[in-house]
Amino acid sequence: MCGIVGYVGHRDVTELLLEGLRRLEYRGYDSAGIAVQHGAEISIRKKAGRVHELGKLVEANPVAGTAGIGHTRWATHGETTDINSHPHVGGNGEVVIVHNGVVENYTTLRAQLQQRGYVFRTATDTEVIAHLIAHQLSEQLKLGSDPERPDTYVTAVLAALAQCKGTYGLAILFRDAPNLLIGARLGSPLVVGVGQGEFFLASDPSPLVGYTDEVVYLSDHELVVLTPAGMELRHRDSGSLTPSIQTIEQTPADIELGDFEHYMLKEIFEQPTTLENAMRGRLDDDEATAKFGGLNMEPQQLRRIDRIVLTACGTSWHAALVGEYLLEEFARIPTEVEYASELRYRNPPLTDTTMIFAITQSGETADTLAAMRECKRKGHPTLAICNVVGSTIAREADGGIYLHAGPEIGVASTKAFTSQVTVLTMLALYLGRMRHLSYPAGHRIIQQLREIPQKVAQALESFETVRKIASKYASYDNFLYLGRLYNFPVALEGALKLKEISYIHAEGYPAAEMKHGPIALVDPNTPSVFIVPRGGIYPKVMSNLEEVRARGGPVIAVACEGDDEVADMADDVLFVPEVDEFLQPLVTVIPLQLLAYQIALLRGCNVDRPRNLAKSVTVE
């Protein structure tokens, strides 16, 4: 969840590190710090709070050098304090590290190191790694290893990591080896940026944009040795590797706010474009189907599939629920949705004709990755729906589909959700046309998909109406979100958005389930948000709405344009364009995203960096 940035080369590193941490702050923002090397001296500046606070500290106490590491933290072990902030020091200052991940056996290792005389200054698990590396380095030097050779330091790092259980993404500096930067990865992403006489290290490519477009993605158990003269990539067990250099497609504009106040708002308004990008080149009018280049499965194999399991976490799990409806309706394939955090520890009866889809924005979600690996281990076709090219899940899946949504920096996911639903719609069309779905039906789905970006743009026109409604309800502390069929997952997603960024208790339910318990919560202080567009069960949802009204509960409705019946019954209405039922989630979710955003602003919450959350959950 935390962010790492590192550099070795010819530039003054301080501002580069700070700018990199600003770009990575969505990954963690409890505290931040940098370590800058100048000759045989490593200077550390770190501070609890945002990167802005670190910047003020560095301005008051400048540091300079051409090698350094930085970190923005999402706390797992130890409170959010200056002392617990990264970087951390090993031994007597000969090792300085930043770390993403969790050392599961840190209490045992800490006790062993304390017996050897190592003094711990923090409550973090990371300090264990720093002291372990320092200890192993001293052992190497006792054996006569050359302190001028990088291999001495590599051997110490590998020996230390062999004792650690858990996950790590590491960037390491050594006091006595200027211009040497070592990175190591197990379960927490790292990417190397390749420049001319300079190299970068980061948790994801965003800090590298504008500096280089050539990157190497580290895999688990890999270690990279960086100096201004070059890069060496090694596997923990098998030795040297040949780096696979890839090109990143991001531009500086992708990670800039532009005219928007927040990244979340920018990403909400990008959705007409991101949906077009998700569909570009994937709709085949001649065959009335979708086409994908990366599934890596022949049609004969796909026709053998008789069961699909979609596994995901958070917002991606809600998109998967929509996918379940789509796949069963159009492809007639039994589909289940599993929380990845549960699936990784279960042993469900999956056959060789069961296909697994891991759905993830970042491609690094720890639980989703573990669930996917477990299914792969048992021989099931395991594919991914992912946004980040080069991410671990994208690389390890047997095949998959990219969202092409561009970087999503706001912690509360918005455009990824609609892109995932769009991709799942096209997947249902593709598999459906392989089975029983007729040509006219396939062609009709394609036509409606092509109209969706414009429909989403129309839904975004509710922005000012949402602002007025938000001002009316921002002081309430409990909300219910209610929808049926395709709009039940939207109710869950709307409630999650409100919880994430407004810190308001909100629950999503199938509207008909309200009578089986949740209706007890209805009172004048608990607004109910009904998702009630026109469709086959419209009268049923309207009946549920009336039941809430009869008990004095305020009602906010998301309804189709021109629906006077809803307008007469609800206290407030957010209108969306009318679309076919299977596409309704793509338009009904838009005002709910905007509502959460506006209420968060009115409550004074940090929209892009909500408390206790980070963008990519890379620890269990």
Beta-strand ranges (E) seen in 248-361 are 283-284, 289-290, 307-312, 335-339, 354-360
Task: Match 């969306």 to its residue by tokens.
Answer: 576
Which residues lie across from 215 on neighbouring strands?
193, 246
Listed as own residue / partner, the contacts of 78-83 with beta carbons closer than 8 Å and 24 or more positions apart are: 78/122, 78/123, 78/124, 79/123, 80/30, 80/31, 80/48, 81/31, 81/48, 82/31, 82/46, 82/47, 82/48, 83/121, 83/122
CA distance 267 to 279: 18
Q: By C-alpha distance, which of 530, 524, 527, 534 is closest to 509?
A: 530
Quote the tokens at residue 573: 């209405």
Q: How many Cβ atoms are within 10 Å of 6's Cβ, its own excluded?
A: 32
The active-site residue out of 2, 313, 386, 560 is 2
Is 164 labeled as catalytic in the residue annotation?
no
In this structure, are residues 333 and 424 in contact, taking their beta carbons and an 8 Å threshold?
no
2 belongs to the catalytic site: yes
* Angle value at C-alpha 142, between 137 and 144, nearest 5 degrees: 100
Sheet containing 31-38, strands listed edge to edge, beginning at the edge strand earlier in sequence: 41-48, 31-38, 67-73, 3-8, 199-202, 191-194, 214-217, 246-247
List the catalytic residue out of 266, 415, 497, 615.
615
Instruction: Tell me the three state secondary structure of residue 249.
Output: coil
From CA 221, how far away is CA 539, in angstroms rounded?
57
Question: Distance of alpha carbon 441 from its chain centroid, rounded?
Answer: 35
- Name the residues annotated as catalytic: 2, 615
